[in-house]
Amino acid sequence: MIIPLILAGGSGTRLWPLSRELFPKQLLNLTDNYSMLQNTILRLNDMKSTAAPVVVCNEEHRFMVAEQLRAINVKPLSIILEPVGRNTAPAIAVGALKALDILNEDSGKLIKDNSEPMLLILPADHIINNIEAFHEAVTLGSQYAAQDYLITFGIIPDSPETGYGYIKKGKILENIKESEINTQEANSSEESNKNSIVDKFVSNNQSNGKNGAAVIDKFVEKPDLETAKAYIESGEYLWNSGMFMFKASLILKELEIHEADMVKACRDSVNNGKDDLDFFRLNRESFEASRSESIDYAVMEKTDKGVIIPLSAGWNDLGSWDALWQTGNKDENQNVVRGDVLLADVKNSYLNAQSRLIAAVGLEDHVIVETKDAVLVAHRNRVQDVKKLVAQLKAGNREEAVSHSKIFRPWGSYETIDIEQRFQVKRITVKPGGKLSLQKHYHRAEHWTVVSGTAIVTKGDEQIMLTENESTYIPLGTVHRLENPGRIPLELIEVQSGSYLGEDDIVRFDDIYGRQK
């Protein structure tokens, strides 16, 4: 059984100002009406012998991740919450440990057979246009992974890209023999499809081996342009996609060999972790003890079991605004435009308007991205340096590095409309059935006016119902709660006044979502 392990813990700083610490790029709709995370899972539809996914994400993003999965009708096997980021090797380790636990506890309810889980590692921020080619590569990869190889998928390069790492192919592997094919594949109803894929593999090997599976020779870092050109001309190098496939037990065994302390920390973080609503919380102290390392460095560069399978499927990791220009639908002037944009004599540019009109004249090879609280303007060949701006924002403790003006919560969202020294105006949206925590504030009072929907307001010992155009006042220090009992979103305007208006001025007494902060 293939268990997709979705790595959704990144920050995506090079896509600022859309991607931010509390709303990173994997949760954004960058190419269509689905987020990167949703598309990563949706492209697994119709793949046989595939279970529901295990998702690893930052605990700060847990409710947004759960809501996005719910929106596409996906019930994950687990959503694992990382208390801190520790790169891909620890994330894969805890995912493998959890997958084995799920198999032992499942008793056939979620996983349809008792075979050892085979993990398909997928970062949540990739675009893949040719889904059929992706499925074929995964099917071929599963056959090698079943023979105790550690599989990575290498992207066949179409340009001398300096923003990606590369993998050099070694010896082309011999044909897969029928007797060596995993028995669970051989017994499946997809026998004819499997044979056609193996035939393609054999045909490729018998020609020039360019598209066949190969032993991994070595990993190389992001090259300069001349080196990248040499890699492309040699035909021996593929882009490192960051996608992998292997048995859960095998990757743990290899990690034990090369990173024993990391595995111990990860095992302790799982054994001492706990379920929390729909999530699994890793033990913070144990997970923090793990060394931060990528799976490339921790295992794949050291193992003798590494195999690379070439993939040509319209892949891009959308690591910069230029990547979004490259993959986007272009107009007659080679511009990619999203939102309300007016252009005159603009060419080869990417323009994204989130909340207001962008008007541009006489530009070429530029990126302009507008949000309610920030605007980015950059030349396309300098977009990799956006992360330097984010570093400056963080150094200055600027909120624009962390969050948007609209903040999402498990009960809905709020957006700051206006703010001055002693007052703040917010627009609050509470989804049907949503309920804010029972709380009080030491430094501010609040006035709520309902714009649409129905609200139940707890205020001290009383409980009142408000409908459109009705309001109430919450004095400083009063215990209160807001909830939406209706079937449509509750919209209201909140006016805060007081000496301190920070979000940390909240004392929670009860919260249905289990939040303590």
Has residue 65 been placed in a domain? yes
Residues 424 and 294 placed together within one structural domain of the fold? no
Has residue 53 been placed in a domain? yes
Structure-block tokens of residue 250? 């095998």
Quote the pLDDT of residue 515: 84
Residues 309 and 413 placed together within one structural domain of the fold? no
Residues 14 and 46 placed together within one structural domain of the fold? yes
Asked whether residue 34 carries a pLDDT value surpassing 90, the answer given is: yes
Instruction: For residue 109, count CB atoms less than 10 angstroms from its CB and return exposed for 0-12, middle for 13-18, buried for 19 or more.
Output: exposed
Structure-block tokens of residue 180? 């060596």
Question: Mean per-residue pLDDT for 65-85?
Answer: 96
Structure-block tokens of residue 338? 């999203």
Query: The CATH number of the domain where 505 resides is what?
Result: 2.60.120.10
Interval 212-257: pLDDT, tens: 899 999 999 999 999 999 999 999 999 999 999 999 999 999 999 9
| Cα distance between residue 415 and residue 425, in whole Å | 9
Has residue 99 been placed in a domain? yes
Residues 369 and 280 placed together within one structural domain of the fold? no
Query: The CATH number of the domain where 159 resides is what?
Result: 3.90.550.10
Quote the pLDDT of residue 105: 76
Residues 61 and 154 placed together within one structural domain of the fold? yes
Higher pLDDT: 208 or 139? It is 139
Burial profile 123-147: b = 16 or more Cβ within 10 angstroms, e = fewer: bbbbbbeebeebbbbbbbbbbbbbe
Residues 200 and 267 placed together within one structural domain of the fold? yes
Contact 224, 245 (CB under 8 A): no
Integer CA distances (angstroms), 126 to 26, 240, 292, 374, in order: 9, 12, 22, 25
Domain boundary among 288, 319, 350: 319
Residues 217 and 364 placed together within one structural domain of the fold? no
Predicted confidence band at 106 (pLDDT cuts at 50, 70, 90)? low
Question: Mean per-residue pLDDT for 471-482?
Answer: 97
Question: Mean per-residue pLDDT for 145-165?
Answer: 93
DSSP 8-state code for residue 147: T
User: Which residue in 390, 96, 23 sits closest to 269, CA to CA?
Assistant: 96
Residues 23 and 105 placed together within one structural domain of the fold? yes
Q: What is the pTM of this model?
A: 0.87
Question: Mean per-residue pLDDT for 360-379?
Answer: 97
Residues 154 and 213 placed together within one structural domain of the fold? yes
Contact 312, 133 (CB under 8 A): yes
Residues of the chain above pLDDT 90, percent: 83
Predicted confidence band at 36 (pLDDT cuts at 50, 70, 90)? very high
Terminal-residue alpha carbon distance, the chain? 38
Has residue 489 been placed in a domain? yes
Run of H or E residues at 49: none
Asked whether residue 453 carries a pLDDT value surpassing 70, the answer given is: yes
Domain boundary among 276, 293, 319: 319
| Cα distance between residue 172 and residue 175, in whole Å | 9
Residues 345 and 490 placed together within one structural domain of the fold? no
Interval 324-367: pLDDT, tens: 999 999 999 999 999 999 999 999 999 999 999 999 999 999 99
Asked whether residue 108 carries a pLDDT value surpassing 60, the answer given is: no
Provide the 3-class DSSP secondary structure of residue 461: coil
| Cα distance between residue 501 and residue 497, in whole Å | 7
Higher pLDDT: 291 or 110? It is 291
Contact 309, 213 (CB under 8 A): yes
Has residue 324 been placed in a domain? no
Question: Mean per-residue pLDDT for 424-445?
Answer: 97
Contacts of 44-50 spanning 24+ positions with Cβ under 8 A: 44/4, 46/135, 47/2, 47/135, 47/138, 48/188, 48/190, 49/1, 49/2, 49/142, 49/184, 49/185, 49/188, 50/1, 50/2, 50/3, 50/4, 50/120
Question: Mean per-residue pLDDT for 412-429?
Answer: 95
Residues 240 and 189 placed together within one structural domain of the fold? yes
Residues of the chain above pLDDT 70, percent: 91
The pLDDT mean for the chain works out to: 90
| Cα distance between residue 334 and residue 331, in whole Å | 5
Q: Give the least confident one: 208-217, 313-322, 466-475.
A: 208-217
Predicted confidence band at 203 (pLDDT cuts at 50, 70, 90)? very low
Has residue 398 been placed in a domain? no
Instruction: Reply yes or no: is the peptide bond before residue 117 cis, omega within 30 of 0.
Output: no
CA of residue 302 relative to chain centroid, distance? 27
Residues 6 or more apart whose CB falls under 8 angstroms from that of 216 comprise 152, 167, 168, 169, 170, 300, 306, 307, 308
Question: Mean per-residue pLDDT for 177-194?
Answer: 40
Residues 125 and 93 placed together within one structural domain of the fold? yes
Contacts of 347-356 spanning 24+ positions with Cβ under 8 A: 348/380, 349/325, 349/380, 350/321, 350/322, 350/324, 350/325, 350/380, 352/18, 354/18
Give me the domain span that covers residue 478: 406-510
Provide the 3-class DSSP secondary structure of residue 388: helix
Asked whether residue 199 carries a pLDDT value surpassing 60, the answer given is: no
Quote the pLDDT of residue 206: 35
Q: Give the least confident one: 109-118, 140-149, 261-270, 357-366.
A: 109-118
Predicted confidence band at 187 (pLDDT cuts at 50, 70, 90)? very low
Quote the pLDDT of residue 190: 40
Number of domains observed in the structure of the chain: 3
Has residue 330 been placed in a domain? no
Domain boundary among 392, 422, 457: 392
Has residue 15 been placed in a domain? yes
Asked whether residue 394 carries a pLDDT value surpassing 50, the answer given is: yes
Asked whether residue 258 carries a pLDDT value surpassing 70, the answer given is: yes
